[in-house]
Amino acid sequence: MARYQQIIEELILTGGRHLTAEQIYLRLKESHPSLVLATVYNNLNELTRQGKIRRISLEGFPDRYDAPTRHDHLVCTVCGGLTDLPLPDLTEWIEQQTKTPIEGYDLKIHWVCPKCRAAQGTTA
Amino acid sequence: MARYQQIIEELILTGGRHLTAEQIYLRLKESHPSLVLATVYNNLNELTRQGKIRRISLEGFPDRYDAPTRHDHLVCTVCGGLTDLPLPDLTEWIEQQTKTPIEGYDLKIHWVCPKCRAAQGTTA
DNA sequence: TCTTAGATTTAGAATAATTCTAATTCAAAA
DNA sequence: TTTTGAATTAGAATTATTCTAAATCTAAGA
């Protein structure tokens, strides 16, 4: 069962990174016309719960889904675009600072991506 | 003008931290019965734009509003509760690592708060 | 004082992402 | 072949937030 779980996972891990639920739905609908958006959400929730994928929540934009490998993200404050950023793992440092065990963390770095920086130079 | 801007700002900075728009609305409605939720949102957006308050987005919970001082947050993965955590500023370290100027960052640390940890021990 | 102009607030409809519910379908086991 | 439980489907519901248009207010100018 879980007819769609595997192809959704594969699409997220290899077919395109940082996809939204709707993008996943539209891509898979081509080859699986009976697929429905609610099924995509169901599977995304299940995969996230199992730790096979990672959900990235962004202010003002729909959630995106990513590989669960440990890495951080640059978020463009202009276009909302996401870029992977593999900074060193801060877990131990945080636990030393807080003197408390933690489950993990979510680090989003705000920048203006090169494309938007160029566009700013043009208009401003 | 901006009749409500100041009292909203004051409530966020001093009257209670990590409040939602609705909590702010309910508290102020007592003393200002004509106040409407849309006005709260308008003012929260304006205050955020001006950098006088900070918006904190949490997965699955409404946004909360906080003082704009630089600090990080512990987020309980069980109850969603927020706790302030003043870790050292990582901006310079991140800029060294990425070799790119950044605008700031958002660091949320996932833990189980003491209250939920105790409750877990009880039930599990 | 009266008028005007601009901004703010109000009221409530609209939006959009996501979840929920109930009915249907499916796959495997009995 | 029948049963059973889980997954999918369809579409309604939810919820936080935004939007729109009308009403209100404030301050300035005549």
- Mind listing the pLDDT tens digit for each residue in B29-77? 999 999 999 999 999 999 999 999 999 999 989 999 999 999 999 999 8
pLDDT in tens, A70-109: 999 999 988 889 999 999 999 999 999 999 999 999 999 9
**Which residues is A76 bridged to in the sheet?**
A111
Residues in reach of strand D, judged by a CB distance below 7 angstroms, are: A 1-5, 32, 34-36, 38-39, 42-43, 60; B 1, 20-22, 37-38, 41, 45, 62-63
Q: Is the pLDDT of residue A28 over 60?
A: yes
Shared-domain flag, residues B49 and B102? no
Rounded to the nearest angstrom, the minimum Cα separation between A26 and chain B is: 24
Please tell me the distance from the alpha carbon of residue B12 to that of residue B91, in angstroms, as a whole number.
25
Number of domains in chain A: 2
Count Cβ–Cβ pairs < 8 Å, chain A vs chain B: 64
Q: Name the DSSP letter for residue B6.
A: H
Q: What stretches of chain B show up as alpha helix (H) in DSSP?
A: 5-10, 21-31, 37-49, 91-98, 114-123
Percent of chain B with pLDDT over 70: 96
pLDDT in tens, A9-23: 999 999 778 999 999
Give the CATH number for residue A9.
1.10.10.10
Report which of A62, A99, A104, A102 is spatially closest to residue A82, judged by C-alpha positions.
A62
Give the range of the structural domain holding residue B93, as residue numbers without chain letter: 70-124
Shared-domain flag, residues A82 and A27? no
Shared-domain flag, residues A11 and A60? yes
Percent of chain A with pLDDT over 70: 96
Taking all residues of chain A, what is their mean pLDDT, rounded to a whole number?
Answer: 92
Please tell me the distance from the alpha carbon of residue B106 to that of residue A60, in angstroms, as a whole number.
15
